[in-house]
Amino acid sequence: MRRTIAAALLGLTALAAPARAEEPCAELSGAVDLSRSPRDDRRVFCTFARDLVVGSCCQSSLYDCLQKRPDCARARADALVGLADVAGGGTEESALAAATKYEQSLSLASRQKIDLTGAPCRGQGPVTLAEFSDFDCPHCALAQGIVDELLAARPATRLCVLQFPIHPHSMLAAAAALEAAREGRYWKMAKALFASQAEREGLGERPYVDELLQVAKGAGVDPKAVRAALAGGPALDLARAQKAEAERLKLDGTPSFFLDGRPLGVVSLPFFEAAVDDEIASRKKPPSAK
């Protein structure tokens, strides 16, 4: 993914330390944290913020909105999209395009219908965050902490995880996790699989399977049931079907997130929080206001 994990270091905060007066956009320090951004990135962000018109609760430039309505979820989300794009080497034009794409994704017509059949889910809803993940993906392992914090901070969020195994043997890890789900132990197994990535790295198929069985045993999952699942059956079939769903959506990497069917291109807790808040706020407006 295009430096989106690195973008997790970017965030909005009402408690950001005051920026030095000579730094670009220091006057926005009460709404957006630019402290980790190089000076050139800050200059690009300032221009972007002045040129982007924010809808929803602002109807003004992002720059004005961040000053006058720092509580506006749309402004927070747009700001984080722009910051992530600039941090990834983008220009003002690409940041504007990324923010515009985010706003357009709110329309019902632009949303993807994702088949969540058999996907383990947790959280209360009514907003659903769908994650396509790979147990051998280091970025996916890092994202789990962000997702856990999101569910704690935004209990209106339901998380559903779909398997998108793209590493050499990770289809087997996906099947093992889905077999654990049949025993009601998916989340414990998933945590153990992410924690044991290093032990599986570079292994051939047979030692990889042996490692999976050890992980399953430690997670309280029947190793014999897992071994049988890896040979074929419902868990392996479901893992393949979920990978096919990811391919239908033309996903090009993991982790990939969708919020009620719209793609989220930035992986960070502040952005996820802002996007959930924006989604809930947008539901209170008529479709024409979106």
**Is pLDDT larger for residue 14 or for residue 108?**
108
Residue 258 has pLDDT above 60, yes or no: yes
89-103 pLDDT, tens per residue?
A: 999 999 999 999 999
178-215 pLDDT, tens per residue?
A: 999 999 999 999 999 999 999 999 999 999 999 999 99
Domains with residue ranges and CATH for the chain: 6-111+268-289 (no CATH), 121-248 (3.40.30.10)
Above pLDDT 70, what percent of the chain? 90
Task: Identify the band that residue 10 occupies on the pLDDT scale cut at 50, 70 and 90.
Answer: very low
**Is pLDDT larger for residue 55 or for residue 243?**
243
Task: Identify the band that residue 22 occupies on the pLDDT scale cut at 50, 70 and 90.
Answer: low
The pLDDT value given to residue 251: 97
Residue-wise DSSP of the chain: --STTGGGG-B--TTPPPPPTTSTTGGGTTT-B-TTS-HHHHHHHHHHHHHPEETTTT-EEHHHHHHH-TT-HHHHHHHHHHHHHHHTT--HHHHHHHHHHHHHTTSGGG------TT--EEE--SEEEEEEE-TT-HHHHHHHHHHHHHHHH-TTEEEEEEE---STTHHHHHHHHHHHHHTT-HHHHHHHHHHTHHHHTT--HHHHHHHHHHHHHHTT--HHHHHHHHHSSHHHHHHHHHHHHHHHTT--SSSEEEETTEEE----HHHHHHHHHHHHHHHTS-GGG-
- What's the whole-number average pLDDT of the chain? 90
